[in-house]
């Protein structure tokens, strides 16, 4: 059996789909479906069991989760970077992760979990080492706090534990995410309904729409997860990005070309985001490549085209 937390979410449901395509259906999905939109992500997938995240945590705490798992993919989290309730964020992203980590360690079950490039904040260096970590919000800190907990245990850990710092992931099955959808999914309805893509005007030395992020197609994120689930005794934190930053203009122009309509409009950069915004991210993937993940990454334009085809 495989356990996929956040299995009805964006990355989680794409992981379940990949497992299904590899012939695996004995999958326990853990999620919170109080927001019912995510249920659509599971409708075309095959799983053997489902647990609400609160019941799952209760069983972890009580020691009654009687499951023998081949590997655990932990993608369950509060990913809202604008969330202001720090206690809620820490309980979701640190407390739940810590409980699951220690359950896996006691059973020597491989754990691959989602960290985030938000741990870097405004750093200009994205090597996954402590000197580059300076999160801008409680979301980024909650992810960093768990990474630090994992690091404190690594010398004594006797089973695979891998943290993946997701950069800007995009692709199908993220329509439920609301304001946390990728730039692609935020621009698409603007373009279809109003014929315009609205991007931020220049800031922090970047031209209009030229703020740059490391955009990675979700299929590549899935491939990295699956690699480390079968990579022997891997124990570390790795970046999950392409190593190549692209501009927001690149996304807008690709959408306009593929849909054959629209234009770009630049809007004032919000004052509330000044000093609290990652205008540039680019994964340092040397350690990822050194750990044996050698597959090529999907080009931004190809990922956008594949996403539109599925939508």
* All structural domains of the chain with their residue ranges: 2-170+215-244+281-299, 178-212+245-273
**Residue 198 CA: distances (Å) to CA of 114, 262, 303:** 30, 11, 21
* Residue ranges of the chain whose pLDDT lies below 70: none
Q: Name the nearest CA neighbour of 46 among 10, 77, 2.
A: 2
196-200 vs 27-31, strand pairing mode: unpaired
Token code pair at residue 8: 């009805």
What pLDDT, on the 0 to 100 scale, is given for residue 178? 83
Query: Which CATH superfamily is 178-212+245-273 part of?
Result: UDP-galactose 4-epimerase, domain 1 (3.90.25.10)
Q: Name the nearest CA neighbour of 71 among 225, 229, 237, 293.
A: 229
Strand extents, DSSP E, 158-229:
161-166, 168-170, 196-200, 212-213, 215-217
Q: Buried (b) or exposed (e) across 179-192, using 16+ Cβ within 10 A?
A: ebbbbbbbbbebbe
- How far apart CA 246 and CA 210 sit, in angstroms, is 8
The region, left, alpha or beta by phi > 0 then psi within -120 to 50, assigned to residue 65 is: beta
- How far apart CA 166 and CA 178 sit, in angstroms, is 19
Token code pair at residue 242: 């392409």
Which residue reads 């089973």 in tokens? 159
In the CATH scheme, what is the code of domain 2-170+215-244+281-299?
Answer: 3.40.50.720
Beta bridge partners of 73: 4, 112
Which residue reads 């995510």 in tokens? 38
What pLDDT, on the 0 to 100 scale, is given for residue 81? 78
Residue 95 is classified by DSSP as I
Token code pair at residue 309: 């085809």
Reported as a single tens digit per residue, the pLDDT across 24-66 is 999 999 999 987 789 999 999 999 999 999 999 999 999 999 9
What pLDDT, on the 0 to 100 scale, is given for residue 34? 87
Reported as a single tens digit per residue, the pLDDT across 89-117 is 999 999 999 999 999 999 999 999 999 99
- How far apart CA 207 and CA 279 sit, in angstroms, is 11
Beta bridge partners of 164: 114, 238
Catalytic center residues: 139, 177
229 phi and psi, to 5 degrees?
-65, -20
Do 2-170+215-244+281-299 and 178-212+245-273 share a fold? no
Cα dihedral angle (235, 54, 182, 231), rounded to 10 degrees?
A: 20
What pLDDT, on the 0 to 100 scale, is given for residue 61? 96
Q: Name the nearest CA neighbour of 154 among 80, 260, 235, 220.
A: 235
Residue 213 is classified by DSSP as E
């Amino acid at each position: 059996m495989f356990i996929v937390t956040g299995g009805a979410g964006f990355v989680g449901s794409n992981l379940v789909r990949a497992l299904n395509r590899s012939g695996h259906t004995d999958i326990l999905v853990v999620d919170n479906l109080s927001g019912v939109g995510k249920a659509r992500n599971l409708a075309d997938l095959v799983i053997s069991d489902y647990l609400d995240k609160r019941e799952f945590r209760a069983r972890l705490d009580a020691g009654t989760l009687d499951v023998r798992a081949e590997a655990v993919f932990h993608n369950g989290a509060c990913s809202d970077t604008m969330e202001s309730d720090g206690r809620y964020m820490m309980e979701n992203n640190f407390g739940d992760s810590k409980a699951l980590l220690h359950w896996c360690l006691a059973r020597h079950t491989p754990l691959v979990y989602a960290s985030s490039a938000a741990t870097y904040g405004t750093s200009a260096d994205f090597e996954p080492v402590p000197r580059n970590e300076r999160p801008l919000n409680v979301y980024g800190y909650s992810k960093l706090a768990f990474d630090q907990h994992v690091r404190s245990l690594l010398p004594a850990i006797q089973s695979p534990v891998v943290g993946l710092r997701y950069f800007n992931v995009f692709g199908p099955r993220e329509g439920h995410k609301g304001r946390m959808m990728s730039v692609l999914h935020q621009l698409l309805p603007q373009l279809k309904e109003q014929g315009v893509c609205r991007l931020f005007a220049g800031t922090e030395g970047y031209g209009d729409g030229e703020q740059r992020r490391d955009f990675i197609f979700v299929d590549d994120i899935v491939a990295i997860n699956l690699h480390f689930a079968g990579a022997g005794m891997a124990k570390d934190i790795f970046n999950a990005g392409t190593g190549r930053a692209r501009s927001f203009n690149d996304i807008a122009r690709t959408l306009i070309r593929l849909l054959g309509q629209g234009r770009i409009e630049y809007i004032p950069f919000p004052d509330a985001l000044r000093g609290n915004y990652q205008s540039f991210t680019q994964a340092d993937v040397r350690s990822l490549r050194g750990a044996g993940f050698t597959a090529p990454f999907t080009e931004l334009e190809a990922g956008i085209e594949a996403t539109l085809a599925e939508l």
